[in-house]
Amino acid sequence: MAVRALARVNLAAIERNVARLARDAQGAAVCAVVKADGYGHGMVGAARAALRGGATWLAVATALEARDLRAAGFGDDVPILILGALSDEELPIALDAGADLAVWTIEMVQALVASGRPVRVHVKLDSGLGRLGTRDPEQADAVAEAVAAAEHLQLAGAWTHFATADERGDAFMGEQLARFKAWAEPLRARHPGLLLHAANSAATLRDPATHFDLVRAGVAIYGLDPFGEDPAARELEPALELVSYVAAVKACAAEQSAGYGRRFVAGRDTLLATAPIGYGDGYRRGLSNHAEALLHGRRIPLVGTVSMDNVTFDVGAAGLGPRLGDDIVLIGAQGGERVTAEDLARWLGTINYEVTCGISARVPRVHHRDGEAVEE
């Protein structure tokens, strides 16, 4: 490897994942959510791959993300929806980007009217997540009618977001769905052509009743399982692999230690390999003494404390024969073995989203299509 740590991202996998989700969406348009630098995969490359795979919309969380997509060459023919709240300072950036905006208060509508700029608006009902949006359907109606009455504004969409779609078998998603339908369907009857959308990745895979006109797929387009289990069980293909290499190999006798705090003390004579990756790269300290990686197609245990720039693995298994420069796969497949983002999430007590989003900017992202290099 030419660098200490590398995230290789297969854009062809993103294309295939989007095509697979479009199949499940059963005619609903697919909006690819590429916020947070494409969940750590690289926003621009992921967005291009998603559109090639059949997505027709893109979604982000911030005005700056929308601006960066436009600057990268995504024209006005690609609608970009900003899902998050916008400050007074961010609003002009969002308007300059020609993005669709989310609103849920009369004050937000008034700010758009005062701008004098044309903008497509999506009114958000908080059907139960408890974050952005209004819980009051009557207020949501008032906001929608104010948008429809405004000269420069277009009432483009009505939407909500699920709190428990990734918890299969729960009843709350059904309650949210019923609240949303009770508000949104009469609103669309008054405003034909209104776009209704509610489904995230988990809802898209779980219940066709959530699909409406558009599904907003995020985690699944990257081949991550929205239920936190196994992407393959969902016919999803992980797009990202995280790789480092063997930078040092040294004998470790019984009772010798490795890492800060001596949290690993060898119980037998063994061999340690150091990989130059750590929590400065987003490979979390919480994995200390509690993770595995792949070397020569075999699983190797992480031993000792994950430091900012280095981590050690016990490679003393018979016949492994580590050599300087050998790849160590921290997320991905090697031989017949694999370590998934879902594995790391279980070891950390978190979710796969956080694993890939947490890979730091210090780790270069290299995009390819099934092994063939692509121009950035």
Q: Which domains does the chain have, with CATH numbers?
A: 11-225 (3.20.20.10), 240-339 (2.40.37.10)
Band (pLDDT 50/70/90 cuts) for residue 319 is confident
Band (pLDDT 50/70/90 cuts) for residue 311 is very high
Q: What is the mean pLDDT of residues 317-332?
A: 92
Q: What is the mean pLDDT of residues 223-236?
A: 97
Q: What is the mean pLDDT of residues 155-164?
A: 98
Helix (H) or strand (E) holding 264: strand 264-265
**Mean pLDDT, the chain, integer:** 97
35 among known catalytic residues: yes
pLDDT of 376 reads 65
Q: Is residue 268 packed enough to be buried (19+ CB in 10 Å), middle (13-18) or exposed (0-12)?
A: exposed
- Please report, rounded to a whole number, the percentage of residues in the chain having pLDDT higher than 70: 99
Which runs of E-coded beta strand occur in 289-336?
292-295, 298-303, 311-314, 327-334
Q: What is the mean pLDDT of residues 118-133?
A: 98
- The tens digit of pLDDT for each residue in 257-267 reads 999 999 999 99
Which of 39, 245, 260, 353 is the catalytic position? 260
Q: What is the mean pLDDT of residues 173-188?
A: 98
Q: What is the mean pLDDT of residues 125-133?
A: 98
pLDDT of 165 reads 98
Question: Does the pLDDT at position 188 exceed 90?
Answer: yes
124 among known catalytic residues: no
- The tens digit of pLDDT for each residue in 237-283 reads 999 999 999 999 999 999 999 999 999 999 999 999 999 999 999 99
Question: Does the pLDDT at position 105 exceed 80?
Answer: yes
pLDDT of 301 reads 97
pLDDT of 320 reads 87
pLDDT of 1 reads 62
Q: What is the mean pLDDT of residues 101-117?
A: 98
Q: What is the mean pLDDT of residues 343-363?
A: 98
Q: In a 3-state reduction of DSSP, which class is residue 172?
A: helix
- The tens digit of pLDDT for each residue in 35-66 reads 999 999 999 999 999 999 999 999 999 999 99
pLDDT of 116 reads 96
Determine the Cα angle at 139 with ends 29 and 165, to 5°: 40
Cα–Cα distance, 347 to 228 (Å, whole number): 12
Distances (CA, A) of 119 to 226, 327, 359: 32, 49, 35
Are β-strands 264-265 and 248-252 bridged in parallel, bridged antiparallel, or unpaired? unpaired
Which of 35, 124, 222, 283 is the catalytic position? 35
Give the predicted TM-score (pTM) of the model. 0.96
